[in-house]
């Protein structure tokens, strides 16, 4: 399919769609997922068993080991495999996005795109279409809890951000610590070595998901192969470890030991399963399912079985570091160093999983206006979800380094890590419970069954993780609460500003009026007859009525009438007025082109335009109201980037839509706009001479182009409720002191590729 056809097909559908590939392309995409998604969960064998059985304690007995391995095996089966891979990935958005915020917007989807409304400038609008939904009562009930669900979903997003800092800290530190077995003197250098590796990891993010995965996918493939083969080898030392497939062994372990906290260690085995869902927008459902079910899952199961077998067989010898001590051949042997090198490389890839997941989630949150706009770089020509956000990348880097420096004890670091993961899993379960009847249209009983089954296991893990809050889990909890509070605040304040913007849009007819005077333009034949009796300068003179006073004889008048009957040439002189109440102000036309930017979609002209006329009571000869649509393809062909309509009732006014591919840079091509405007005018004008005059006027005006954007000076609107003084003081502080300041630092025009001198910011006081 050609890019042109692809573009218009997408416009007809009105939204981005999930990536669909088949055959070898699907296999290649599945291979890429290894380098982005699975190294997080794939590196868990580095620290899980020591998280359950600390090296400072004696080696556990055989029954406890089998019970712990059973808990790990069934946790991997029920949560990553069944909950996420088999079922959960089906709850991504139509755009192919996953994660907690995507689940929220599946329940409360944005309105459908109307591709013409942005160019509707004069029609009446503002009336809401009554809902015809048969489940309006359910929708009304959900609407009452919208803000609660928003905060809950954003809390999951915020904890994923914390997870993006904790994963590199835990994984890299765990891998590097293996050096202590062969060189105990380097134990104090584990932190600096880990920090150096972490900084290098964040430095390469700018190359993009596709390029990074091209390097990391083979590394992960080799790593998982090593886990698989060493696991098989170790299992032979104690084949009875296969009793772990009996789930009763896990239940009896907890009943016998009564150590509920052990579940926080088991939780570490499933860290990274949320990354599979959050990274859905970077790949697609089929590729993730294939790579996990056929590669990652069997490799992990055998790795844990093998470690359990070695722990039963050689308990005291391997308890110090179960992963490294269970490598066949022993410490310092060739296989040990191979595993050590690939463990470090795999932890880098593990960190990549949560970093890219964080990028994807922040893209969703920013695009849906729950965070200030920041610069985003799309790194793929085919997958819109593959992005790089420089500011987020460096915040993650700094946070990760701080975690490594603060948490000298790896156990405390894993506690913090586990709490973030457990909470995000619980958020996902509750939101999918609502999606099942509301979005998938399945019976409520299915949603209740989902909640009871998976909510039970998530609740067990979350409760165990919650007990670790005093021991280090308070860190992601604090980060999550602060970031969630800010995102909820920004969603609220930005929503108020957007509501003000929509409420103050107006039809041009409501405040621009016109007066028309018709004049007759002599035909070329008549002008040649007249030239003999008038001065040469009068060739282009337009008069209202031919008469004797104008120096035209009766014969000429007769000829004139004959020509007018066959070729009438009427011109309209239009005067435009600014109408404010009963007062009208004549608006002179300036020979310039002004592009008024609509920062949000919708009918009518923005508040900026009326504010502009109040400050400068004159009209540019060419007035364009421009809206921007990001299309779900990398590049929109140049010939298809703009759509322009002409306001027939008011000369010189145009509505335009600028359609950008997700990798196109924002740079308005005034020449392309001019060509479309001229084409419209030529088709709309009957008289060639009149058309030529209009074309010349527009070309002259286009020599000076000015971009006009709104600058809302937000003010807190006073509300009258119980406790109004306190409420109004809080609203004023939030809106005028915090929101206004942050919005000034992160303007909507930050990513525009044009000179600042070409942009006029029209100040508009917005009471919100």
> Following DSSP, what letter does each residue of 443-456 receive, concatenated?
-HHHHHHHHHHHHH
Task: Copy the structure tokens of residue 549.
Answer: 């006073």
CA distance 435 to 51: 35
CA distance 443 to 427: 21
Torsion of CA 22, 25, 28, 29, to 10 degrees: -70
Of 327, 308, 252, 295, give the one whose Cα is nearest residue 72. Answer: 308
Q: What is each CA distance from 69 to 240, 265, 273, 313, in whole angstroms?
A: 12, 11, 18, 14
CA 670 to chain centre: 28
Of 652, 716, 706, give the one whose Cα is nearest residue 680. Answer: 652
Find out whether 221 and 27 touch, Cβ atoms under 8 Å. no
Q: E strands, 432-582, where? A: 512-520, 570-580
Find out whether 680 and 644 touch, Cβ atoms under 8 Å. yes
Helix (H, G, I), strand (E, B) or coil at 724: helix
Find out whether 296 and 41 touch, Cβ atoms under 8 Å. yes
Task: Copy the structure tokens of residue 68.
Answer: 């712990």
Would you say how long the chain is, in residues? 768
Q: E strands, 611-758, where? A: 619-631, 642-646, 653-661, 705-715
At residue 750, the pLDDT reads 63
At residue 461, the pLDDT reads 92
Helix (H, G, I), strand (E, B) or coil at 388: strand
Scan for tokens 């759509």, then name that residue.
643
Residues of the chain with confidence (pLDDT) below 50? 1-14, 127-134, 522-557, 559-571
At residue 202, the pLDDT reads 85
Helix (H, G, I), strand (E, B) or coil at 169: helix
Q: What DSSP character marks residue 750?
A: G
Rounded to two decimals, what is the model's pTM?
0.76
Task: Copy the structure tokens of residue 341.
Answer: 């090198």
CA distance 710 to 501: 10
Residues 442, 448, 450: CA angle, nearest 5 degrees: 85
Please, which residues bridge with residue 377 across strands? 388
State phi, psi for 637 to the nearest 5 degrees.
Answer: -55, 145
CA distance 652 to 620: 8
Of 300, 301, 244, 322, give the one whose Cα is nearest residue 68. Answer: 244
Residue 723, Cβ density class (10 Å: 0-12 exposed, 13-18 middle, ≥19 buried) = exposed
Residues 6+ away with beta carbon under 8 Å from 141: none
CB atoms closer than 10 angstroms to residue 601: 16
Q: What is the DSSP string of 299-319?
A: HHHHHHHHHHHHHHHSHHHHT
Pure H helices in 504-583: 524-530, 554-566
What CATH number does domain 3-115+145-501 carry, 3.60.10.10, 3.30.465.10, 1.20.1740.10, 3.90.1150.110? Answer: 1.20.1740.10
CA 582 to chain centre: 47
Residues 6+ away with beta carbon under 8 Å from 26: 286, 287, 290
Please, which residues bridge with residue 387 across strands? 378
**Per-domain residue ranges of the chain:** 3-115+145-501, 508-521+569-767
Q: Tell me whether strands 619-631 and 589-598 are parallel, antiparallel or unpaired.
A: parallel
Query: Which secondary structure element, helix H or strand E, spans residue 273, and what is its range?
Result: helix 273-278
Please, which residues bridge with residue 646 across strands? 654
């Amino acid at each position: 399919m050609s890019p042109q056809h692809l573009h218009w097909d997408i416009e007809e559908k009105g939204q981005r769609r999930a990536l669909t590939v088949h055959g070898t392309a699907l296999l290649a995409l599945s291979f890429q997922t290894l380098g982005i998604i699975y190294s997080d969960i794939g590196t868990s064998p580095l620290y899980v068993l020591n998280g359950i059985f600390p090296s400072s304690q004696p080696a556990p007995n055989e029954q406890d080991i089998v019970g712990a391995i059973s808990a790990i095996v069934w946790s991997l089966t029920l949560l990553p495999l069944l909950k996420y891979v088999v079922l959960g990935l089906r709850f991504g958005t139509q755009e192919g996005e996953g994660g907690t915020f995507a689940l929220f917007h599946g329940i409360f989807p944005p309105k459908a795109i109307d591709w013409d409304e942005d160019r509707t400038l004069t029609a009446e609008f503002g009336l809401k279409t009554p809902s015809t939904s048969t489940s309006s009562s359910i929708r009304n009930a959900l609407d009452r809890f919208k803000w609660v669900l928003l905060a809950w979903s954003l809390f999951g997003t915020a904890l994923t951000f914390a997870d993006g800092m904790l994963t590199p800290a835990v994984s890299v530190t765990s891998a590097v610590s293996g050096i202590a077995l062969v060189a105990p003197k380097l134990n104090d250098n584990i932190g600096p070595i880990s920090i150096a590796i972490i900084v290098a990891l964040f430095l390469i993010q700018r190359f993009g998901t596709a390029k990074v995965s091209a390097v990391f996918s083979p590394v992960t493939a080799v790593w998982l192969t090593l886990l698989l083969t060493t696991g098989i080898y170790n299992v032979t030392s104690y084949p009875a470890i296969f009793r772990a497939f009996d789930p009763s062994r896990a239940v009896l372990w907890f009943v016998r030991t009564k150590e509920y906290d052990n579940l926080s260690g088991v939780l570490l085995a499933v860290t990274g399963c949320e990354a599979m869902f959050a990274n859905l927008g970077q790949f697609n459902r089929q590729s993730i399912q294939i790579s996990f079910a056929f590669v990652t899952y069997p490799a992990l199961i055998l790795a844990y079985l093998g470690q359990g077998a070695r722990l039963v067989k050689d308990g005291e010898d391997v308890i110090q570091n179960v992963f490294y001590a269970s490598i066949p051949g022993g410490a310092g042997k060739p296989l040990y160093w191979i595993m050590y090198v690939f463990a470090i490389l795999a932890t880098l890839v593990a960190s990549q999983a949560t970093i890219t997941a964080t990028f994807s989630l922040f893209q969703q949150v920013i695009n849906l206006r729950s965070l200030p706009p920041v610069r985003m770089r799309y790194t793929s020509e085919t997958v819109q979800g593959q992005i790089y956000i420089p500011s987020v990348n460096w915040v993650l880097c700094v946070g990760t380094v701080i975690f490594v420096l603060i948490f000298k004890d790896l156990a405390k670091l894993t506690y913090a890590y586990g709490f973030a993961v457990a909470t995000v899993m619980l958020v996902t379960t509750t939101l999918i419970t609502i999606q099942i009847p509301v979005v998938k249209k399945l019976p409520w009983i299915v949603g209740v069954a989902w909640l009871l089954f998976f909510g039970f296991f998530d609740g067990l893990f979350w409760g165990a993780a919650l007990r670790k809050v005093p021991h280090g889990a308070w860190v992601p909890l604090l980060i999550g609460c602060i970031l969630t509070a800010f995102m909820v605040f920004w969603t609220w304040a930005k929503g108020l500003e957007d509501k003000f913007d929509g409420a103050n849009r107006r039809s041009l007819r409501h405040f621009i009026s016109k007066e028309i005077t018709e004049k007759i333009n002599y035909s070329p034949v008549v002008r040649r007859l007249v030239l003999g009796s008038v001065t040469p300068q009068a060739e282009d003179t337009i008069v209202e009525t031919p008469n004797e006073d104008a120096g035209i004889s009766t014969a000429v008048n007769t000829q004139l009438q004959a020509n007018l009957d066959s070729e009438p040439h009427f011109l309209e002189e239009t005067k435009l007025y600014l109408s404010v109440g009963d007062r009208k102000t004549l608006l002179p036309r300036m020979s310039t082109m002004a592009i008024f930017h609509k920062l949000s979609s919708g009918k009518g002209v923005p508040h900026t335009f009326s504010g502009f006329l109040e400050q400068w009571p004159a009209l540019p000869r060419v007035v364009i109201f421009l809206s921007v649509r990001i299309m779900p393809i990398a590049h929109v062909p140049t010939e298809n980037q703009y759509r322009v309509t002409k306001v027939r009732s008011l000369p010189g006014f145009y509505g335009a839509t600028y359609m950008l591919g997700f990798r196109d840079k924002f740079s308005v091509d005034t020449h392309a706009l001019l060509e479309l405007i001229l084409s419209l005018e030529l088709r709309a004008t009957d008289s060639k001479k009149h058309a030529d005059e209009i074309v010349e006027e527009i070309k002259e005006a286009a020599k000076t182009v000015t971009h006009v954007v709104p600058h809302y000076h937000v003010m807190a609107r006073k509300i009258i409720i119980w406790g109004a003084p306190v409420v109004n003081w809080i609203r004023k502080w939030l809106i005028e002191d915090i929101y206004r300041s942050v919005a000034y630092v992160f303007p909507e025009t930050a990513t525009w590729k044009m000179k600042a001198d070409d942009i006029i910011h029209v100040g508009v006081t917005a009471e919100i």
